[in-house]
Amino acid sequence: MTDTTGGPPDGLDAGSPNVARMYDFWLGGKDNFAADREAAERVVEISEGRVVRGVRLNRAFLGAAVRAAARAGVRQFLDLGSGLPTRENVHEVALGVRDDARVVYVDYDPVVCVHGRALLAGAEVGFAEGDLRRPDEVLGHPAVRGMIDLSRPVALLLVSVLHFVADEDDPAGLVARYRDALAPGSRLILSHLATDAFPEAMARTERVYQDASARLGARPSARIRGFFDGFELLEPGLTGPREWLDGGVRTDGERFAGLVGVGELR
């Protein structure tokens, strides 16, 4: 979808930054346009390069958390706000651990929807066009109902998406509504941008997103921890992605704005 191949498909807005395509750019993907790259580079400059390393660590966290859930016996994965397909997608990771895994991706972005449908290479992978801010519609979507059995454990993924949900949409309440639909043994796999480490840089970054497809709203770590209400936060707790991957041990002095964690529903 790069603009070097003749321009965007009909109906896609290539003139405004798209948050999924910006993320794709940081991951080294090719599904982005000049406006996405320009905005993404501004964030790289503001963060002094940390955003690229943080995004790739966040992707590594996603893969490790999915593998851990699958090894613990979870076979169903519901990825809300899944974003553009890239390397080591959830279904690839989960199916690499257990061949009975079922994965449903959910996103409302038409750009993502086009690519998500193309992703459906196997019978055990589904894609639902839906807005995570409407839990009843998402959980009632035919693709979800047809593949996800809510009476059995589900790994609910909210990876780098809740910071695009405004406070007025009550993100904590939304997480609780999904939680209440899940069976014991389910997991919440979550990452979110925090304001704690770099408040000034984060404020500047949020201004970059004012003209993008979704506004960015980082939150204090205490607010992010609240998303795990009702879940038991597993070790090493709510940490930076590198610390989580290293079992809670900080191996260098570099800090990142993102926080990650996994909770289990008892």
3-state secondary structure of 40: helix
pLDDT at res. 254: 74
* Host H or E run for residue 158: strand 155-159
b/e sequence 190-219, b meaning 16+ C-beta within 10 Å: bbbbbbebbeebbeebbebbeebbbebbbb
Q: What is the pLDDT of residue 255?
A: 82
- Residues (pLDDT < 50) of the chain are 1-10
Largest CA distance in the chain: 52
In three-state secondary structure terms, 261 is: strand
Per-residue model confidence as pLDDT tens digits over 199-222: 999 999 999 999 999 999 999 999
pLDDT at 80: 98
What pLDDT does 1 receive?
Answer: 46
Report yes or no on whether pTM surpasses 0.75. yes
The answer to whether the beta carbons of residues 175 and 181 sit under 8 Å apart is no
Short-list 167, 149, 160, CA closest to 241 = 160
User: What is the helix, strand, coil percentage profile of the chain, to 5?
Assistant: 45, 15, 40
**Cα–Cα separations (whole angstroms), residue 142 to 104, 113, 135, 136, 247:** 11, 15, 13, 12, 38
Dist. CA 174–CA 61, nearest whole Å: 23
Strands 187-193 and 258-264: antiparallel
3-class secondary structure, 108: coil
DSSP single-letter state for residue 238: S
